[in-house]
Amino acid sequence: MPQQLARLLVVFAVFTGGLVVTRHLLIPKTFGQRGHYRAAAVTTIQVRPLRYAGREACADCHADIVGLHGKGRHQTVSCEVCHGPAAAHTLAPVENQLPAPRKRAYCPLCHGYDPSRPTGFPQIDPVSHNPMKPCITCHNPHQPEPPHVPEECGACHGEIARTKAVSRHALLPCTQCHNTPVQHKVDPRLLHPDKPRNREFCGQCHAKDAPSPREIPRIDLATHGGRYLCWQCHYPHMPEVD
């Protein structure tokens, strides 16, 4: 017998030996009972504790949120994607509190601009999209459609309206600063809206002692910016200062 053939036979013998050992000793007993699958795995998995409850389980106690969520653009994002596994919470809600992702860094995990995402998926640039605040100040996480921005002027002043929509003045209506005669929208050249004329106008909200909501940033009207008009330094439709 040629030498090579003898070696080949040894290799062959080891290989079949291995197969036989694997077949009879290593393959689990219940393998193959239900196709290419270890039937006993079902029981093994069954005894593991349930961690997820599913959206329907939340409706018993949070009916309002489930209702809101079911109608909004996040309806395909299940509750437990954001709040984590909640089975224990549904059994004893007070003892098992769920976290809520309130921080700004969370939402861009899905919405931060990334060219590999499908076209049409709503994406934003987290650096420039309303940078100073958590997303949930403007978007309800359970129904995140962008807040209604007053846009009646946008038909003709589209660029200003779009600029303002992503600025810190987003929620101020145009008419807060421009008294607009109805006639202007019909025949714009006939009657012009007015424009703020002095520093005091901006001071209504931004002066130190102004009676406006506390979160509005304040300046000292007497000294800030010297004698210049505010909009010589701040574009009023996008007044960010960084």
Q: Closest CB to ligand HEC among 39 and 124?
A: 124
Nearest distance from residue 47's CB to ligand HEC, in Å?
Answer: 22
Q: Is 61 in the site for ligand HEC (CB under 6 A)?
A: yes
Please choose, out of 13-21, 26-34, 39-47, 125-133, the segment that lies near ligand HEC by the rule CB under 6 A. Answer: 125-133
Three-state secondary-structure class, residue 124 = strand
Dist. CA 129–CA 168, nearest whole Å: 10
Please provide the DSSP assignment of 33-99 as one string: TTEEEETTHHHHHHTSPP----HHHHHTT-HHHHHHHHHSGGGGS-HHHHH---HHHHHSTTTSPPP
Q: Closest CB to ligand HEC among 27 and 50?
A: 50
Q: Is 109 in the site for ligand HEC (CB under 6 A)?
A: yes
Please choose, out of 3-11, 22-30, 38-46, 229-237, the segment that lies near ligand HEC by the rule CB under 6 A. Answer: 229-237
Q: Closest CB to ligand HEC among 36 and 197?
A: 197
Q: Is 88 in the site for ligand HEC (CB under 6 A)?
A: no
Q: Is 147 in the site for ligand HEC (CB under 6 A)?
A: yes
Q: Is 238 in the site for ligand HEC (CB under 6 A)?
A: no
Q: Is 219 in the site for ligand HEC (CB under 6 A)?
A: yes
Q: Closest CB to ligand HEC among 30 and 123?
A: 123
Q: Is 198 in the site for ligand HEC (CB under 6 A)?
A: no
The length of the chain, given as a count of residues? 242
Q: Is 126 in the site for ligand HEC (CB under 6 A)?
A: yes
Dist. CA 114–CA 154, nearest whole Å: 28
Tokens 């996008």, residue?
238
Please choose, out of 7-15, 19-27, 42-50, 194-202, the segment that lies near ligand HEC by the rule CB under 6 A. Answer: 194-202
Dist. CA 105–CA 133, nearest whole Å: 11
Tokens 């290799």, residue?
11
Classify residue 108 by its DSSP letter: H
Dist. CA 120–CA 110, nearest whole Å: 13
